[in-house]
Amino acid sequence: MSSVSHIAHETREIKIKEQVNIKNKRGKELTFSLVDTPGISTKIDYEDFIKKGLKKTEAKKRAKEATKGVIDSIKWLDDMDSVVVVLDATKDPYSQVNITIIGNLQARNIPVLIAANKVDLKKANIEAVKAAFPQYKIVGISAKYGKNVEEFYEQLFALAK
């Protein structure tokens, strides 16, 4: 629902879409409200945005907005029935951010489905993601190419029961 760019924290505000409806191949339907939150991060430094080409004023503004977005995202967890955590399958799944997110969800007893994105890339390592979070169902997807969307939908149906 949000824009994507090569610069971190493109999504800085929570976006809500009511009445999202998906249908699987067997005709089963699931309707839900989708809450797209900024990625939860443990470090937001305006200097990182400057390194990506933003001017200092814009970088500071983005860092402030990103920090607020992370705080809002954590607050929203109290209202979730289930959560899909989207991880980059080309990166280390043991990063502090992932451990923080998963630990927070586990402590709140919120059902989780992990979507390991970017499986279309050679660097993707779905097995590393599975090893890091064996307590959860993990679906390897390519959001860019729509790979494994049906399996992802099936797991959404199972998560929502």
In the chain, where are the structural domains located?
1-79, 82-161
pLDDT(8) > 60? no
**Contacts of residue 71, Cβ cutoff 8 Å, sequence gap at least 6:** none
Q: Is the pLDDT of residue 88 over 80?
A: yes
For position 130, what pLDDT does the model report?
Answer: 95
pLDDT in tens, 53-79: 889 999 898 888 888 887 877 777 777
User: Model pTM greater than 0.75?
Assistant: yes
Report which of residues 73 and 92 the model is more confident about.
Answer: 92
Give the confidence band of 125 by pLDDT, cuts at 50, 70, 90: very high
Distance CA 1, CA 4 (A): 9
Q: Please, are residues 58 and 49 in contact by the beta-carbon 8 Å criterion?
A: yes
CA angle 103, 121, 46 (to 5 degrees): 55
Query: 82-161 — its CATH code?
Result: 3.40.50.300
Distance (Å, rounded) from C-alpha 117 to C-alpha 6?
15
- C-alpha to C-alpha distance for 44 and 85, rounded to whole angstroms: 20
> Of the segments 20-24, 65-69, 123-127, which one has the largest average pLDDT value?
123-127
pLDDT at residue number 101: 81
